[in-house]
Amino acid sequence: MKTNFTIRQEESKDFFTVENLVREAFWNVYQPGCDEHFIVNHYRSNPDFIKELSLVLEVDDKIIGYIMYSKAQIDCNDGTKLDVATFGPLAIHPDFQRQGFGKILVDYSLEKAKELGIPCVLICGSGEFYGKSGFVPATTKGIRYADDSEGDALYFLCKELKEDFLKDIFGIYHDPKGYFVTHENPEDFEKYDLQFPKKEKLKLPGHIF
């Protein structure tokens, strides 16, 4: 078991370090370059941001991991809306990946989310990774991802923090608007990214964007 780490809420003095860490972790992973650091930068002033769940993981007083959560909603088929949460970006610095820190940070944040009364968390991601923290495909619980036309996406996952919260619930989940900030402000993003160290954008096999 790992013991040489601490997890705490992000503070304003961490903002640049966190954004640079997120950029390092996501760079060229899903697209040439990345924009997840811009999403974090904007989310902090978004009413959907859950500051208690904006968490940094430190090893030897150095931030090597970060996760943030957003309020989200399920549009139920009966016309009601159900308050839930989502998380991301989740980032572990490339030098510290595959050492268990990602899972530790996810599990810790889920415990905190439960303490805050969040009943359910929905995310898109790897079933292999998040399955270890108890996530299952959300379609098995009656919730469909809005972008999934077939309604069988295995990458759309959920975890109930309140037992049977999704029992008898059927609905659609849309990503909260805060995650689309780059598409809405492409020029602001280009300017914002210039403050970080120069990195080469590469088009790699397996990119989803």
Residues contributing to the site for ligand COA (CB under 6 A): 25-26, 29, 88, 90-92, 97-103, 125-126, 128-129, 132
Q: From CA 25, how far away is CA 89, in angstroms rounded?
A: 10
- Work out how close the CB of 180 gets to ligand COA at its nearest, in angstroms, rounded to a whole number: 17
Helix 36-43 vs helix 186-193: crossing angle, to nearest 10 = 100
Residue 39, CA distances (Å) to 25, 44, 73, 163 in order: 14, 9, 19, 31
Helix 15-26 vs helix 36-43: crossing angle, to nearest 10 = 150
- Work out how close the CB of 32 gets to ligand COA at its nearest, in angstroms, rounded to a whole number: 15
| Nearest to ligand COA of 76, 134 (CB atom) | 134
Closest residue to ligand COA using C-beta atoms: 102
DSSP conformation class of 196: S
| Nearest to ligand COA of 162, 174 (CB atom) | 174
| Nearest to ligand COA of 47, 197 (CB atom) | 197
- Work out how close the CB of 13 gets to ligand COA at its nearest, in angstroms, rounded to a whole number: 22
- Work out how close the CB of 182 gets to ligand COA at its nearest, in angstroms, rounded to a whole number: 16
Q: From CA 74, how far away is CA 72, in angstroms rounded?
A: 7
Q: From CA 124, how far away is CA 171, in angstroms rounded?
A: 16
- Work out how close the CB of 2 gets to ligand COA at its nearest, in angstroms, rounded to a whole number: 10
| Nearest to ligand COA of 74, 92 (CB atom) | 92
| Nearest to ligand COA of 102, 171 (CB atom) | 102
Q: From CA 50, how far away is CA 176, in angstroms rounded?
A: 13
